[in-house]
A and B are shown apart, each in its own frame.
Chain A
Amino acid sequence: MSTVPIQLPSPLRFLVVDDSRAIQAIVRRAILHCGYSPIEVETALDGDQALDLIETFKPDLVITDWHMPKVSGLEMVQALRQLGHQDVRVGFVTTERTPALLEEAISNGALFILHKPFDDAELVAVVANAVKDLVGEAPAVSDSTAASTPNAAPALMLRKGEEPISHAAMQLLLLGRLGNIPFRLIPHEKMVLEALTTNNLLGLYAAKDVKGVYAIAVMDANAVCMVGGGAARMLPNDVRALMATGLPSTVMMDKANEFLRAAAVSLSESAVSSATEVTMAKASVVKNTFAKLAAVLSQQGQRSDFRLAIPGYGEGRMAFFVMTS
């Protein structure tokens, strides 16, 4: 995979604030590969230095740590807003997880909260989302290998080394649904039958020129409540209450259905043929005792598993399977 940088008329300016120069270096490297050009990056060791630099450097996006000596990341954002800089975009890269503090950051206008350790692709995804209205379009990703394949292999195969839905693609999908609600997405934790909720949402996907079911999505009731409730901007208490019953509301189900429908685009992108169009054929609620569920969850490869955590809501699980037989 290679990223084709989008040429911008003026440099995109980033300010990286972290008391660790080593983490500054990691974040800087990821930003330089975010798919835009030209880019300017400045760094500050704490919130105090950052506040001075913001006046002169005028960054398009401030990416800050939380815990720093002198002025913390949250204090810096609060000071910024008090000084009248409502328009300065800020995102956090942090280990902080206390829900009340994260909510305070969001209420002060933080656009994202990314937890360390992160993949470069995750940082690129949240940065692209934060600056999308400045640059007009998301960075394009090309795959020269796939493009040059004259005869596509059977559509049941994924591109070599690819998952049905990558961590970065899921991050973007959720950003689209959850907006500014902070969330943490943990990949590769396999969904197992024993841990499923009683009711689960099953999505069936069809692909052009492929007979039968191309892919299956499974969202447990918690994930349905979180994605659906988040997308509907429901209050955390209301979401938690419905999660406790295991019965998502109608609006949650509708929003979760929309989410699964949107996931079809990512499934299309991971298919071996770039011409393979994947669409959601049907979504329905199934019990965890549904006979075929066990067989699907036992599939070893061609699957993407995610644990989703949202402060104030809780945790849910979902998985996507490209059918191997």
Chain B
Amino acid sequence: MSRTPLDTVEHAAATPDVELPWAELGLKKDEYERVVEILGRRPTGAELAMYSVMWSEHCSYKSSKVHLRQFGEKAPQSDALLVGIGENAGVVDVGQGYAVTFKVESHNHPSYVEPYQGAATGVGGIVRDIIAMGARPVAVVDPLRFGAADHPDTKRVLPGVVAGIGGYGNCLGLPNIGGEVVFDACYQGNPLVNAGAIGVMRHEDIHLAKASGAGNKVILYGARTGGDGIGGASILASETFDDAKPSKRPAVQVGDPFQEKLLIECTLEAFKEKLVVGIQDLGAAGLSCATSELASNGSGGMRVTLDDVPLRDSTLSPEEILMSESQERMCAVVEPEKVDRFLEICDKWDVIATVIGEVTDGDRLEIYWHGGKIVDVDPRTVAHDGPVYERPYARPSWQDELQADDAGKLARPASSAELRDQVLKLVASPNQASKKWITSQYDHFVQGNTVLAQPEDSGMIRIDEESGLGVAIATDGNGRYAKLDPYAGAQLALSEAYRNVATTGAKPLAVSDCLNFGSPEDPAVMWQFAEAIRGLADACQQLGTPVTGGNVSLYNQTGEAAIHPTPVVAVLGVIDDVARRTPVAFQEEGQLLYLLGDTREEFGGSAWSQVVHDHLGGLPPKVDLERERLLGEILISASRDGMIDSAHDLSDGGLIQAVVESALLGGKGARLVVPDGLDAFTFLFSESAGRAVVAVPRSEEVRFNDMCGARGLPVTRIGVVDGESVELQGEFELSLEELRTAHEETIPALLK
């Protein structure tokens, strides 16, 4: 953009015919025309920069907004919700005066271009969202999806992503307690790197992103602003990858976790002294986002002098400064008399802090550069009044055929030997194999409050040392189920996360989601998206767990090939005393194994159909939310009353996968019998939802059965914890050693 003479508001008004590069910045023609209409003149270069990033798909949710509204409209009544959708992250009341904030976001596109930095800055971004609410971050989780495990590019992307998450999160001192790792060829070229974080605060410490009180100062603090990540949101996250275009590497940001650690400590110290009126982190769209959101959520306007922004590169233009996505920056609104103290705290932590503007009593956001006014806008038009699209959507023509391709027709194991082989093959398959190679690169001990971490069903953190109050979080998603039926697939993701939280003994309270889909410009993808949201919103309503916030990632496709629709759902739960948590591992020989729930012949989208037949077709398992709720209540009661010593939810891979995991983690085997009315194959591999397997001490057998009976939950005795092997009576026996080798050697062998 030409800057001679400076493109001020005055200059723009006087030169209406100057052509601006709106298309290169990702705006559509009608969107640009709307900007002109709003301003009553052509925008200045700086204004164009702001509108283009803020109206990008990533920041404005323009394709998804009309559907996302359902999360609000169908929100169940919940006393637990303190801050809902729309803020940096939702906040949930967990009792004893504590509030917990949590959120999951995507950093998919950057992580494909530059795996290490893409993933690292994904962690950095979600953690700043948590700090911006006033909370101390206490844990992170990372749901990850990659292309085929044996594809050469997976060997490039996965180790980089894992090292990036570890490199950043470990250096911040945040335990990594959960997440998933899934391989599927559909994510080739479009890996999904979702990052979640949890923070804890007292109720009175909740902070919001708003700039109120004329005369209050706007302080930018943290890293200097550089040329990295310019246009990251508009260019990277809002377009499909295309081989013909030049490398997008310069649009990926570079992270500095040490700087972020200082930012956390210095922000929390400023909160503690009540120095902050409003706060916003600088993530996607950088200063454009922070200034326009702070101003539009507050009572007045804002005036900013861009010359005061500390720069890493003195040659940056004002447009670039506004668009830069340099990491580790925050923006605080502080009363004038508290500014000195705020700056002192920043100085203590060696954090650069600069007053760059102030809140005004007008309603305009005005930005100055070299004495000229280069931005004069109504901040709401930038932050909130972006375009809203009613994208056309239609059930794809292939959906019926896909659903008709029933997995029930696939050849089943014909002998005990074949059954045994398939069990071994399943537990060794990349998706079902141990992810220790990955999770051992994450610190899960730091902060000294980790009660449970992966591979447990949910991660669990103690938040009060005296009372033992804790929170649990699980993230789940199954793109294969969602591909077969996006409505049910989203509900199954919620069901599984809900179940995982309850299995550890915590009560599910609230939901965050990360909705990963292909291009919204494809009506089939848009249909998947609309169906998934409808399914998730309906299910959240029924289970009484409101969606508190989340993130949408579209354009996860290369050319015509979109990823499986992949709604990833995080459920947060509370447990009044972490001492009664239920682990996955078998604890004691002789304990009785019970299967809770109904097992049906459900193999559509199953791990078995993928591993043994490389098949995807039919319908996913039936959703039964009332059953999930009942199962959850039973698991929580059983944990509270000491009736079970271990529990594991059943999901992909079915019962045998769960039993093998519990056996290997506990170092104790199991003897299983096929219950009446089921065949061995269905017993082992069915993926019917609403089930868990629990180990009950013999002294609790009667009490536990009575409880399930009284509440109407089907309960079937399936065996006993025993020995050094997993045995299915009359069929096969697999030694723990053989199972361990199969389960644990797959991932290291693939990534070596």
**Chains A and B bind each other:** no
